[in-house]
Amino acid sequence: MKSLHRKDKWIIGGIALALVAGGCAAAAIHQERLTLNASPCVPVGIYQIIPIKKPLHDGEWVRLCPPLSPSVRQEVRHHWMDLSASSVCADHLVPFIKHVVAVPGQTVTLSAKGMTVDGHLIPRTAVQFTAPVPNQYVHLIHYPFGTYTVKPGTFWEVATGIQWAFDSRYYGPIPDGNIRSGARPIWTWKESP
């Protein structure tokens, strides 16, 4: 049997070290219940999955399954949304991390200018009417414009990281049952301008 050269031993040692480090990192991520958010709709980075507080409060981060609304089905049909066979959500939809902006009893007004909660316009929530995809002039489905009182068992959320963020402007209120967990930003990159 041919003996290994010194260089070969270093390469094998490096590979073994990388495998051990990767295993340790995976174990740490699993132990701390961390997830990577790669969507620019909210700050990209690492989030800790935490138990959800009851009752839900505006300002909280949640990890939720998208509702099976016409706008979500449009996103799937045009391949604008990620799917995963191992997802915990219906129809293989991948959970979102979003920012809660309105809870039961609050008033939401949705217009072309954006989403207003209790009379305060949320910045960067103007409704987009066409898809942000070159050469695909698709009219985007949005939730009907109007004023709504948030009903018990539901909430509204937003994602203002980018102009084209997909949130309650397009699919309306979310049932509390769609929440999978709370989310806490641990390490994020700066939001898009």
| Tens digits of residue pLDDT in 57-86 | 888 999 999 998 999 898 888 887 788 888
**DSSP-derived secondary structure letter, 137:** -
Quickly list DSSP for 82-96.
-B-TT-SSGGGBPPE
Count the domains in the chain: 2
Task: Spell out the alpha helix ranges (H) of 78-190.
Answer: 168-171
Domain that holds residue 181: 34-188
CATH number at residue 109: 2.10.109.10
Answer yes or no: do 69 and 6 share one domain: no
Q: How far apart are CA 77 and CA 127, in angstroms?
A: 20
Quote the pTM value: 0.77
Indicate whether 60 and 113 sit together in one domain. yes
Q: What is the pLDDT of residues 25-60, one digit of tens each?
A: 554 444 558 988 888 888 899 999 999 888 898 889
* pLDDT computed for residue 53 by the predictor: 81
Q: Are residues 91 and 126 in the same domain?
A: yes
Are residues 147 and 56 part of one domain? yes
